[in-house]
């Protein structure tokens, strides 16, 4: 009898320990639920293999807004190939707002607007894919899109994700208009889950305008996230978007990028020097490089800016570290590390008069004793060696951009 009692006592003790440890595990899981779920989600997002470097392509909104049709999209795909931009990495052809009918069809699906996209999105995707490019589309985490001309995807996330996948869509820009006031984190997570269950890898671009600091949480949900309100084709708008985006630099990494909105290069509201500044800062900041002008009739200056393969290489550097402002003021220094121990530097004169700007090694992460060669990315020339600092004369509203290579 004593032995049986001992076994019962041991069994009770083991059961107690089991339930204690189970309770401890549950409590721990509860306490860490949000961070664990976020990490699992991030692994899933990164698992789609997209956005290892910032996306490059074209978007219809900045130049055309709602004046779009399937002929424009086809001709833009043709122009990206003809101009050589596709060969440089501009692969996404993204349709923004106003592509759909004002109401869902009898099965509750989104439908392409018959008057402007009569062939349908699947046919358009096939054409774009035949050019070696990818098709992007637009929807909204609210009841209607921002133009109020077509339904949003709120409450239809899984259905719409399946529709996009069946059409062969490769990229989704997801806006934040006409929402019910609930947390964007919840609404965007629903679409993220739906995309990952759709059966197709689709780049997910969150466009909630930086409302709830998406840089701090969106890497668990999507591949890029807007950090600013919309950009406009002006010097003041562009510079303010650059500054707003800069504060979130530490959150960017391969698979997830800060997005200060699309490029205005070539739309006519800024000078060539200002557009060169725009492109240089966006490239250094590892922002998505989405052309916003009419590529079919692009000017020589705009094409030259957008085609600078050396500046593009900084944006697409596999290290994936966002460059940032290291010296502020009217004359600024922006810098960031590149793979191979190199450093990208932009000297930016935001004032109205010519100025000399100096990048000092201790500001940009180089040893003060380092001898460094400097490759001027706009002059396409190499200078040096320099030691301790680099100084250049910079015109008003202009930049000098370098890749520094320690010898």
**Cα gap 208→140, rounded to integer Å:** 9
Q: Which of 97, 140, 170, 175 is catalytic?
A: 175
CB hemisphere CA count around 91 (13 angstroms): 16
Render the burial of 315-351: b for 16+ CB within 10 Å, e for the rest.
bbbeebbbbbbbbeeebbbbbbbbeeebbbbbbbbbe
- Residue pair 104/151 in contact by the 8 Å Cβ criterion: yes
Q: Phi and psi at residue 374, in whole multiples of 5°?
A: -120, 120
Total residue count of the chain as it appears in this document: 407
* 230 classed as catalytic: yes
Q: Given the DSSP bridges, would you call strands 331-337 and 324-327 parallel, antiparallel or unpaired?
A: antiparallel
Q: Looking at the DSSP assignment, which residues form a beta bridge with residue 302?
A: none
**Residue pointed to by tokens 């040893």:** 367
Sheet holding 134-140, edge to edge: 257-259, 224-226, 203-206, 171-175, 134-140, 92-94, 56-59, 289-291
Q: Which of 213, 230, 243, 363 is catalytic?
A: 230
| 53, two tokens | 């470097």
* 317 classed as catalytic: no
Q: Phi and psi at residue 268, in whole multiples of 5°?
A: 100, -5
Render the burial of 2-41: b for 16+ CB within 10 Å, e for the rest.
eeeeeeeeeeeeeeeeeeeeeeeeeeeeeeeeeeeeeeeb
With CA atoms as reference, report the closest residue to 261 among 270, 239, 272: 239
What separation in angstroms does the CA of 186 have from each of 172, 220, 274, 355?
17, 12, 38, 48
- Residue pair 140/174 in contact by the 8 Å Cβ criterion: yes
Sheet holding 331-337, edge to edge: 324-327, 331-337, 343-349, 399-406, 371-376, 381-387
Catalytically active residues, by annotation: 175, 230
């Amino acid at each position: 009898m004593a032995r049986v009692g001992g076994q019962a006592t041991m069994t009770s003790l083991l059961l107690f320990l089991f339930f204690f440890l189970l309770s401890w595990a549950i409590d721990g899981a509860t306490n860490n639920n949000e961070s664990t779920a976020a990490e699992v989600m991030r692994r899933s997002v990164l698992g789609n293999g997209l956005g290892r470097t910032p996306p490059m392509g074209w978007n219809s909104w900045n130049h055309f807004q709602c004046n779009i049709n399937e002929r424009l999209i086809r001709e833009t795909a043709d122009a990206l190939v003809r101009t050589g931009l596709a060969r440089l990495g501009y692969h996404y052809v993204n349709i923004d707002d106003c592509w759909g009918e004002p109401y869902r069809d009898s099965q509750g699906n989104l439908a392409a607007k018959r008057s402007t996209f009569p062939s349908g999105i699947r046919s358009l995707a096939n054409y774009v894919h035949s050019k070696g490019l990818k098709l992007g589309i637009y929807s909204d985490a609210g009841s209607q899109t921002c133009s109020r001309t077509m339904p949003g995807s709120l409450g239809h996330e899984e259905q719409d994700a399946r529709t996009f996948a069946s059409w062969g869509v490769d990229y989704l820009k997801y806006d934040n208009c006409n929402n019910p006031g609930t947390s964007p984190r919840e609404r965007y997570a629903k679409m993220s889950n739906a995309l990952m269950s759709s059966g197709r890898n689709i780049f997910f671009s969150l466009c909630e305008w930086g409302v709830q600091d998406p840089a701090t949480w969106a890497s668990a949900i999507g591949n890029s996230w807007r950090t600013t309100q919309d950009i406009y084709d002006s010097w003041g708008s562009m510079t303010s978007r650059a500054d707003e985006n800069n504060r979130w630099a530490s959150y960017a990494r391969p698979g997830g990028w800060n997005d200060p909105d699309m490029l205005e290069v070539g739309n006519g509201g800024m000078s060539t020097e200002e557009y060169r500044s725009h492109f240089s800062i966006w490239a250094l900041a590892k922002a998505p490089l989405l052309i916003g002008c009419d590529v079919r009739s692009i000017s020589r200056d705009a094409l030259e800016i957008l085609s600078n393969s050396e500046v593009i290489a900084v944006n697409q550097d596999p290290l994936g570290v966002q460059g940032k402002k290291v010296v502020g003021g009217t004359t600024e220094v922006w810098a960031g590390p590149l793979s191979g121990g190199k450093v990208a530097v932009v000297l930016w004169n935001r004032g109205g008069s010519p100025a000399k700007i100096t990048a000092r090694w201790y500001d940009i992460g180089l040893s003060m004793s380092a001898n460094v060669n400097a490759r001027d990315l706009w002059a396409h020339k190499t200078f040096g060696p320099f030691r301790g600092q680099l100084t250049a004369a910079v015109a008003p509203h202009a930049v000098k951009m370098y890749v520094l290579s320690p010898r």
